[in-house]
Amino acid sequence: MTRINFHVLGPIVALVLLILLGWFLNPAFLAPANITNVLARSAFIGMIAVGMTFVITSGGLDLSVGAMAAFLAGVAIIAMNALAPVTGVNWGTIVLGMLVALGGGLIAGLINGALITKARIEPFIVTLGTMGIFRSLVTWLGDGGTLSLASDLRTLYRPVYYSGLGWITWPIIVFAIVAVLGELLMRQARFGRYIEAIGSNDRVARYSAVDVNRVKLLSYVLLGGLVGLAVIMYVPRLGSASGSTGIGWELEAIAAVIIGGTALKGGTGRVWGTVVGVLILSLIDNILNLTSLVSPISTGRSRASSSCLLSSCSGKNAPPRSGEQGRKTMLRRNLLKLPMVAALMIGVSGGAVLAQDAAKKVIGVSIPSATHGFMGGLNWHAQETIKRLGTTYPDIEFVLATAPDASKQVNDIEDMMATRNIDALVVLPFDPSR
């Protein structure tokens, strides 16, 4: 009799529940435009998370990937702007910029891996240090501001993100290819078996004639290369980079890996589970963006709480139990936790069905979030004004979205345009140069 592995089933059930919840809250959730937005935005974190799966499975960790992405994006933009007067505004210049990003990612991964395997410094310390270095470098390169791609190059490069095969854009296609190759590498190749063996017990792997340091080094190089690939897909979206680019990407990638069933302590890795974890995090963010009833603070808290619940469903943080009683306990635990995610999501949205009243006009408002005193006051006044206007003009619905950076602001605007059918849009740009 085949036994059901609930560690494997949990993330899949959670993904299905989130899809049903999104459709329940807003029928436009399953519109092709919204699905494209969610999948395309998932691609950046997804590619990085696939590489992170190999690093974590081997018993390592990399906290520098978000800062590395910002640095590589900045260097690629500088390279393309510098090359354009020499090589011209053409795809040759774009390809050279892509090679700079990809090569820089491989070198950055090599540096991280060498410090960990050759200098024998803990991965946490190494990558925490390089995270600060990469973030400082991109801030220095931009003189504390933003590095922007020349407008003619941006126009030429933009289809790499926004076009594709039908509604399936190129980032989605590239992410799918990376996920398939990553799963094959983990399951079918010798490299994947070595990664799991090292994560389980690196001493035993070394006694089994596995070159532990070389395999670990290659895992960081692979992750760096995938960060470079993600940057190639990311730059045409905004055409710029700054010190705030990629903030939190490392935590999202790690969370997606753990939610997907990979053990944080190493030894067990699932690339396909990581893909599910990435989609879960993106859907949580998208569902919360669909409602104007969720404040920026509760959005972040509910997303974090949902992630914690989902990761605990993998059972990796709990001591394993054997026997029939252990399996029954795990079944009860997972069946209780998965509906809690849906309950949490419905709770923060007030349990309201967000189907838009056809008689109402919808005005979307997008402003930066409260990062200092002035913006905190602006956020408060914006929310109070929207409440007052909503009372004065009941036939108008105001949708307020706040964002901590330009990338998140673009996400919010895309969500509003795809699912809320807004009639007008008011934007206070996070960074006017973008």
Predicted local confidence at residue 1, as pLDDT: 47
* CA separation for the pair 105, 79 (Å, rounded): 15
DSSP per residue, 410-422: HHHHHHHHHHS--
DSSP per residue, 231-286: HHHHHHHHSEEETTTTTTHHHHHHHHHHHTT--TTSS---HHHHHHHHHHHHHHHH
Question: Among residues of the chain, what percentage have pLDDT more than 90?
Answer: 45
Of 336 and 366, the one with more pLDDT: 366
Render pLDDT for 143-158 as a digit per residue (tens, 0 to 9): 888 899 998 999 999 9
* CA separation for the pair 343, 302 (Å, rounded): 11
Which residues are 168's β-sheet partners?
Answer: 165
Q: Is residue 365 classed as helix, strand or coil in its secondary structure? A: strand
Which residues contact residue 303 at a Cβ distance below 8 angstroms, ignoring those fewer than 6 apart?
A: 281, 284, 285, 288
**Domains of the chain from N-terminus onward:** 6-348 (1.10.3470), 361-427 (3.40.50.2300)
The tokens for 380 are: 């408060």
- The reported pTM is 0.78
On whether the CB atoms of residues 426 and 364 are closer than 8 A, the answer is yes
* CA separation for the pair 110, 224 (Å, rounded): 8
Q: How many CB atoms lie within 10 A of CB 338?
A: 21
Predicted local confidence at residue 324, as pLDDT: 54
Region of poorest pLDDT, from 18-32, 267-281, 416-430: 416-430
Render pLDDT for 87-120 as a digit per residue (tens, 0 to 9): 999 999 999 999 999 999 999 999 999 999 999 9
* CA separation for the pair 224, 67 (Å, rounded): 12
Amino acid found at 252 = E
Render pLDDT for 351-363 as a digit per residue (tens, 0 to 9): 444 444 445 778 8
On whether the CB atoms of residues 71 and 138 are closer than 8 A, the answer is yes
Render pLDDT for 158-197 as a digit per residue (tens, 0 to 9): 999 988 888 889 999 999 999 999 999 999 999 999 999 9
Render pLDDT for 184-234 as a digit per residue (tens, 0 to 9): 999 999 999 999 999 999 899 998 888 999 999 999 999 999 999 999 999
Alpha-carbon Rg for the chain in angstroms: 22
On whether the CB atoms of residues 77 and 96 are closer than 8 A, the answer is no
Strands (E), 201-333: 240-242
Predicted local confidence at residue 171, as pLDDT: 94
The tokens for 350 are: 């007030």
Distance of CA 242 to the CA centre of its chain: 18
On whether the CB atoms of residues 46 and 114 are closer than 8 A, the answer is no
Q: Is residue 409 classed as helix, strand or coil in its secondary structure? A: helix
Predicted local confidence at residue 337, as pLDDT: 47
Amino acid found at 12 = I
